[in-house]
Amino acid sequence: MRKHWIDNLRWVTVLLVLFYHVIYFYNNKGVFGGIGGFGAYPDSPQYQDVVMYILYPWFMPLLFILAGISARYALNKYTPKAWFKDRTRKLLVPGTIGLFVYHWMVGYFNTVVASRQGVFDGLPAVGKYVIMALSGTGPLWFIQVLWLLCLILLLVRALDRKDRFWNWCGKANIVWIILLGVLFWAGEQTLIREPRPQTADGLWNLYKPLFYLVPFLLGYFVFSHDAVQEKVKRAWIPLMASALVAGGVLVGTTFGQDNTTPEYLGSPLNCIYGWMMCLALMGWFQARFDRTGAFAGYMTRSGFGLYIVHYLPVAALGYMMKTYTQLPPMAMYLILTVAVFTLSPLLYELIRRIPFVRWCVFGEKM
């Protein structure tokens, strides 16, 4: 029987990602990417940026946990070869070929925002196109990392062919489940604290493969058990209360800092908040949202596609408004929010109707 709470939590988190990128695009906290904030000074207060502090510690780890759970369920139904072939089409194709079909447009705005002007001077058209395509990765880092983790999972499963470790993980009680947050913290310690310029250190900190391996494997080995899910479900209220307290203290004591630095992410308080929120949301959605309907069914089918296409409206419209208009900041936020939640579904519905492009951008069968 399909677990609708997993589907619902996934697409709700994707919608939060869309809103996060609206706020992120105009942030002035030093977070990499975006076009910068408003105000007379670089550090002028932008209280709307609090959205980043609330969401960033947990929403991507949560998506990896859900991906790990789903991987376990899928591998119970399909052979590893068939499953990985499907994952390659669904993840690697959009994360590579899709760059040259759709995301080169995102890359144009990324390069222009980063360098302002002159980045394409003297380059032939082919060179410009390649640069734009490679610069258009944006949110696609998620599916690129997820494909790599799927490959690693197949190697890990080979060491546990009889599911002994998986069965042992299913015995975890709520105390041990909470204490797994230590692994969450340990994963954050794999980031490079002082990234060296002109090296791949910054890329490592951006993709965080070892950190995201932790929630992915925890999803597969721990949270794919019905018994573990039930324990989290029963404890969702105290888990949520604890998460809200930790989040409130975190935001109250760190607002204004760059919340994506290794030091910030690796802090105990950030890890406590991120982990407790992951647990609380899984429990809450099991308890209250384990059902479906017409809208939820549509979002379950289209959530992945919305994630894939959404950053082009953010980058294009966000850049044009900030550069070429004198609109008040709140008007820009409002327009960009409406645009990303309306244009993204339209783009998704358009692209999915073009067979070859659909395969390139969404990894859907031709």
pLDDT tens sequence for the chain (366 residues): 899 999 999 999 999 999 999 999 999 998 888 898 997 566 678 999 999 999 999 999 999 999 999 999 999 999 999 999 999 999 999 999 999 999 999 999 888 776 655 667 778 889 889 999 999 999 999 999 999 999 999 999 999 999 999 999 999 999 999 999 999 999 999 999 999 988 889 889 999 999 999 999 999 999 999 999 999 999 999 999 999 999 999 999 999 999 999 999 999 999 999 999 999 999 999 999 999 999 999 999 999 999 999 999 999 999 999 999 999 999 999 999 999 999 999 999 999 999 999 999 999 987
Q: Where are the domains of the chain?
A: 4-362
Structure tokens, 142: 């998620």
Which residue has tokens 């980058």? Answer: 315
Q: How far apart are CA 182 and CA 350, in angstroms?
A: 44
What phi and psi values does residue 36 have, to the nearest 5 degrees? 100, 170
Contact 150, 91 (CB under 8 A): yes
Contact 13, 62 (CB under 8 A): yes
Cα distances (Å, whole numbers) of residue 221 to 66, 181, 242, 252: 12, 15, 25, 35
DSSP SS3 for 243: helix
pTM above 0.75, yes or no: yes
Structure tokens, 353: 């109707």
